[in-house]
Structure 1
């Protein structure tokens, strides 16, 4: 009995520490990018996955102590995929006392009609979903749209664009929507996926799988994801360093003539970004930039999802 009591205390201690870390990371991202302002009404896009559940809980927690007043409304888009457990999210949100709206739109039928069998449906599906969520934000009078992408998603998108799109372009923590009408924020931008996964397991969220549509996975994103997870396992801190690099861009030491006036460099020009040190061996820190030490009890975890269909 004493052992069980000690285990429970340690488990609760670790959960509290994890929640504090997530709160701190979300709070810092909100402050750095001015994501939330006085009087904001934030539409929290809830998919039923670990990220959006965690985002909603942390935002609700921050509501209690934030220096500004803001409201939240959770929104889920029921796309009428076969086997989608439509009762799960309403039951969870009602039990939590969260204001919510379930939007029902049969985008599944549209996608299946337009996309040939065997081809990935993600691109069209996401465009349809985005348009519906923008419309819903307007109807609900929301000033911000919160998405559950985390730090690992942002780094993954950077590599996708570099490897396949030839651009140094990631997933911004805050930006205008593509229709120019809404401000999209990503409060989990500073959060590690492994922390979110561990938190979701501890909270026992009713996870809804994201493969109900039967679409083939995005193989390019899967390749990049596997590569980053392997790097993180073999070289702890590498993902943190790469994300830190996205926050420390030096245009004079890249090659984009739109960002820096290379043609304008003449004798007598000022030294920019430390100048050219090509002949020097650069000294790099032993500890990766932005690295956070792992907890002693950190271990690989697997998130259980609801068996539906």
Structure 2
């Protein structure tokens, strides 16, 4: 095990402990987009050491959005990786892409895609008897979401490490909350994880990408070198983020 692997595992264990994300006997659905973040999350959660702390079961779920290009190859790559890890998995085939880019759609493609993808995840979690849904949202995602909500939504709100849904019958958990995106990309490269290509025509033009660009621009100046760390620390100590602390031991 490399030093990076140990570092990331330590950060995941801290998040699991701080917010009591996973309890003994939980059944956890890990949402797999095919990106470095979700694949890294699955690798870390399937780690024998983490499994030994509070034994729980895992199921990896990939929602195939319906991009015809490279569709069979994508499924094959993911299935091989799931088998390599020895985890249970489901690949759910959909036509969400067609819905999202329907010329008569009244909402933007990103909204429609997100809504239907989330619905499929919830349906699969219910069908498979899962009480937790783990997403690969990392520290940078949380920072960017905060700024998106401030800039576009006129509210101060971010992703919480633990979020109850369906009146507490399920919880969404974010075990990568303490980990930077750059480390996850490095980890995925180190392990040669089967990261899938981005096929969506909207990729790179979203609000998130614009916010990411603003932060990157500021961080390139020496006086703002710690901007991401400072935003996260401010958020971590704010009342809005602390609502998840109710799960902390």
Report the TM range for the smaller structure's normalisation.
0.7 to 0.9
| TM-aligned CA deviation for residue 64 of structure 1 | 4.8
Distance, in Å, in 1 between the alignment partners of 2:203 and 2:37 is: 21
Contact 2:100 2:108 in 1 (8 A): no
Q: What residue in structure 2 maps to residue 222 of structure 1? A: 209
TM-score (norm 1): 0.70
Pick one of 104, 123, 140 that aligns with 1:135.
123
TM-score (norm 2): 0.86
Residues 250, 106 of structure 1: alpha-carbon distance in 2 compared, 3 angstrom cutoff: closer
Q: What residue in structure 2 maps to residue 232 of structure 1? A: 219
Q: What residue in structure 2 maps to residue 267 of structure 1? A: none
Q: What residue in structure 1 maps to residue 238 of structure 2? A: 249
RMSD: 2.2
Pick one of 154, 162, 165 that aligns with 1:177.
165
1:256-277, CA deviations, whole angstroms, 9 ceiling, x for partnerless residues?
Answer: xxxxxxxxxxxxxxxxxxxxxx
Runs of 5+ consecutive residues of structure 2 not aligned to the other structure: 241-249
Matches within 5 A, 1:68-217: 68-83=54-69, 84=71, 85-113=74-102, 120-177=108-165, 181-210=169-198, 212-215=199-202, 217=204
Runs of 5+ consecutive residues of structure 1 not aligned to the other structure: 1-14, 252-309
1:179-202, CA deviations, whole angstroms, 9 ceiling, x for partnerless residues?
Answer: 764210011010011111111111
Residues 248, 216 of structure 1: alpha-carbon distance in 2 compared, 3 angstrom cutoff: closer
Pick one of 18, 23, 38 that aligns with 2:24.
38
How many pairs are equivalent? 235
Contact 1:48 1:89 in 2 (8 A): yes
| TM-aligned CA deviation for residue 105 of structure 1 | 1.6
Q: Give the structure with the larger helix fraction.
A: 2
| TM-aligned CA deviation for residue 216 of structure 1 | 5.7
